[in-house]
Amino acid sequence: MNILISGSTGMIGSALIEVLQALNHRLTRLVRSPLPGREPTVQWNPATATLNAGEIESFDAVVHLAGESIASRRWTAAQKARILDSRVQGTKFLSSILAKLSRPPKVLVCASAIGYYGHRGDTILREDSGAGTGFLAEVCEAWEQAAEAARQNGIRVVHLRLGIVLSPLGGALAQMLLPFKLGVGGNMGDGRQYWSWVALDDVIGAFHHALMTESLHGAVNVVAPTAVTNKEFTKTLGKVLSRPTIFPLPAFAARLALGEMADPLLFYSARIAPARLLATGYKFHHPELEVALRDLLRKKAHA
């Protein structure tokens, strides 16, 4: 496959590039600034609506990952606008260009997130469950709708709603490792909220599955089949690291430190099932949390 990919320098993009190259796909990076090296690139700037449509003719597929990090800084009004605009404007602009091509791609795979569902307690949520409320739910809903031009032009569009991606290289797990290794880790609040997690290699597997599975379109939950509560997650991580987990992070302390984003990132509960991945035959590399953490952290189980 000849694939164009945006957001290729982030944690997910870098891992995806490596795997797709190993599978002999031809890759071109869609970038804002030139990259060192000889890899093929196409430059764009969605903020200024800059992209030479002629340079993106004849790709078989497009993977769209670009967007402002939701956790890089506190949520001021300006930062929330950047988070929303980077996803909605970028996706809408790219989608509109793809829709006008004389030789458009067959598939557009866009990142989305389980923030779509908001705070839903212990209700099991599948792809046909409605959107939740709150800032992240609004962002995800608008983000997915922004690809409508491509969908209307007959391009197969897949929105991968990513769960809590586990990798020691970045994201939630990387931030948790130091306090847990020091023995000062613990539950987030009361620990009863569901965390729908997924190992990084299954995220990459889901992207490849979406590219190759012609029957797959629309929203797809990218989470392991076994969502756990934060209390279960904490206990399992402590077990894998052989450390106690007796120091909870009170909700009020997290809200003081992180502001508005503390609740949706740490305390919202979303118990999500990967119904469409399973229905289309995807086989998870890491369906169980303890095995996933041991593999990610290269920790052997003791007999």
What ranges do the domains of the chain cover? 2-297
Amino acid at position 224, single letter: A
Q: Is 55 exposed, middle or buried (0-12, 13-18, 19+ CB in 10 A)?
A: middle
| Local structure of 64: helix, strand or coil | strand
Q: Residue 303 has what pLDDT?
A: 38
**Secondary structure class of 107 (helix, strand, coil):** strand
pTM of the predicted model, to two decimals?
0.95
Residues of the chain with pLDDT under 70: 300-303
Neighbours of 132 (CB within 10 A): 21
Q: What's the maximum distance between 2 C-alpha atoms anywhere in the chain?
A: 61
C-alpha 132/C-alpha 263 separation (Å) is 14
pLDDT tens, position by position, 90-104: 999 999 999 999 999
Kindly report, residue by residue over 261-270, the tens digit of the pLDDT. 999 999 999 9
Residue 120 makes CB contacts below 8 A (sequence gap 6+) with 129, 132, 269, 270, 271
Sign (positive or negative) of CA dihedral 161, 22, 201, 176: negative
Instruction: Report pLDDT digits (tens) over 269-296.
Output: 999 999 999 999 999 999 999 999 999 9
CB-based burial of residue 44 (10 Å sphere; 0-12 exposed, 13-18 middle, 19+ buried)?
buried
User: CATH: 3.40.50.11260, 3.10.180.10, 3.40.50.720, 3.40.50.170. Which one for 2-297?
Assistant: 3.40.50.720
Residue 279 vs residues 155, 197, 213, 275: alpha-carbon distances, Å: 22, 19, 11, 6
* Cβ neighbour number for residue 78 with a 10 Å cutoff: 9
What pLDDT is recorded for position 191? Answer: 97
Question: Residue 87 belongs to what H/E stretch?
Answer: helix 77-100
